[in-house]
Amino acid sequence: MRHPSTFYPILFFLLFSFSTSGQELLEKTITVDGQEREYLLYVPAAYDGSADWPLVLNLHGYTGDGYGQALISRMNPVADTAHFLVAYPDGEMVDVTGFLDPDSPLPTQGNGWNLGGLLSDNDDVAFLEQMIDQISLEYSVDNSRIFAVGNSLGGGMTYMLACTLSGRFAAIATVSGSQARAEGNPSIPCEPASPLPVLLIYGTDDNISSPDGGPFFLGAQGTVDFWRSHNNCSSAVTEVSFEDTDPSDQSTVTGFLYTDCDGGSEVWRYRIDGGGHWWPGGGPLPPGFEIAGPVNRDINGSVEAWNFFNRHTLTGARQYLKPSEINLRAYPNPAATQLTFAFELPEAARVHLTLYNPLGQPVQVLANENLPAGRQRIGWERPASVAAGLYYYRLQVGGRFVARPVVLK
């Protein structure tokens, strides 16, 4: 098994502390097209195989590896609390000559991911799909709740998975990584079979992977626009300003949430104003990697990714209800003390409305009753015990449902 890259030698020993309290970080191998590939699997101590658990693929960036990504993303403690498995696969050698900025200090060769056959001969899509299959055979995996998150070039690979294996994933997220352009690159088609929820986290001061994109990558807004179009999202957007809990990090976070999309999908962008090329809330910058720029500490990328994932399950689109179908509104949004939910029922139906916190835990059931056809309004007065933050509500009408965010200030 490959050991951490040269960026992480001092922190290497700390990684194995995860096994001291019952958790396991396991070294795994799998043979793909005659080539042995490697990955790490994190199994929280609470896992006993009696229930199916979600699985998250966490893909490292260029020149990185699975060990380094575990240290950078700090996702294992989130998995301990939320009860999911985490796979950290290792990329293989790729050649990025011609894809780096001429002034980039990064090497032209290093561990990474082969985007559509342009960077190496490795079939990384086949590797990652077979890795999912192997984990599902050896562990109790909820196949309706498989997710992928990628860092930098790992983000680009995450979009490749979304483009080619959309039927395997309930949602994806990326940090400092945008989608490769399909135009002029016939080996990178992107025609997902169904709508897919997408979360993108990007710093405006990213000097390694420009948020503006370039000849090969779409950039932050270009990636958002692609998935908004694919998911048939309306132009309605909810803007969320996150609390600047650490003013010393020289950055702030604003969310742009497109939730009125087909099949219950969503497209969320977290713009880190002043943020660089690093996992927000992640491990410290290794010596010599100051080029990554400012690290945001107001949010935790792994927590935000899981909170987004936890909203989604791979199910039939017919179960979802588009907000526009019932003229759904929640106002005011953001809300301080009172919130009103308004919608129209074309016919009498059983209505269930629940408010959830960011961890997916129910805060309060607001309605569970039979309602007649016509315009409906359900009011809610916020208890003093409910803190400010980003929440979401789930409205079920008969056998269909819709989930949307709401901000409490």
pLDDT at 97 exceeding the cut of 90: no
Q: Over 70: is that where the pLDDT of 354 sits? A: yes
Query: What percent of the chain stands above pLDDT 70?
Result: 92
Does the domain at 321-408 match CATH 3.40.190.10? Answer given as: no
Question: Which residue reads 């106002």 in tokens?
Answer: 331
- What's the pLDDT at 22? 54
At 305-348, the pLDDT tens digits run: 999 999 999 875 447 788 888 999 999 999 999 999 999 999 99
* pLDDT score for 8: 37
What gap in Å lies between CA 317 and CA 320, rounded to an integer?
A: 6
Cβ contact 251:202 at 8 Å: no
Confidence check: pLDDT of 190 > 60:
yes
Flag whether pLDDT at 10 surpasses 70.
no
Helix (H, G, I), strand (E, B) or coil at 172: strand
Confidence at residue 186, expressed as pLDDT on a 0 to 100 scale:
59
CA separation for the pair 358, 390 (Å, rounded): 6
- How does DSSP assign 189-246, residue by residue? ----SS---EEEEEETT-SSS-TT--SSB-HHHHHHHHHHHHTT--S--EEEEPP---
Considering only 178-192, 251-265, 378-392, which range has the smallest mean pLDDT? Answer: 178-192
Half-sphere exposure of 3 (CA within 13 A, CB side): 9
- Cβ-based neighbours of 213, under 8 Å, separated by 6 or more: 178, 181, 219, 220, 222
The β-bridge partners of 395 are 353, 402
Better pLDDT: 399 or 69: 69
For residue range 244-264, list pLDDT tens digits in order.
999 999 999 999 999 999 988
Q: What's the number of CA atoms in the CB half-sphere (13 Å) around residue 7?
A: 22
Q: Give the CATH superfamily of 12-318.
A: Alpha/Beta hydrolase fold, catalytic domain (3.40.50.1820)
Domain segments of the chain as ranges: 12-318, 321-408
Compute CA distances 225 → 131, 200, 298, 372, whole Å.
30, 11, 26, 38
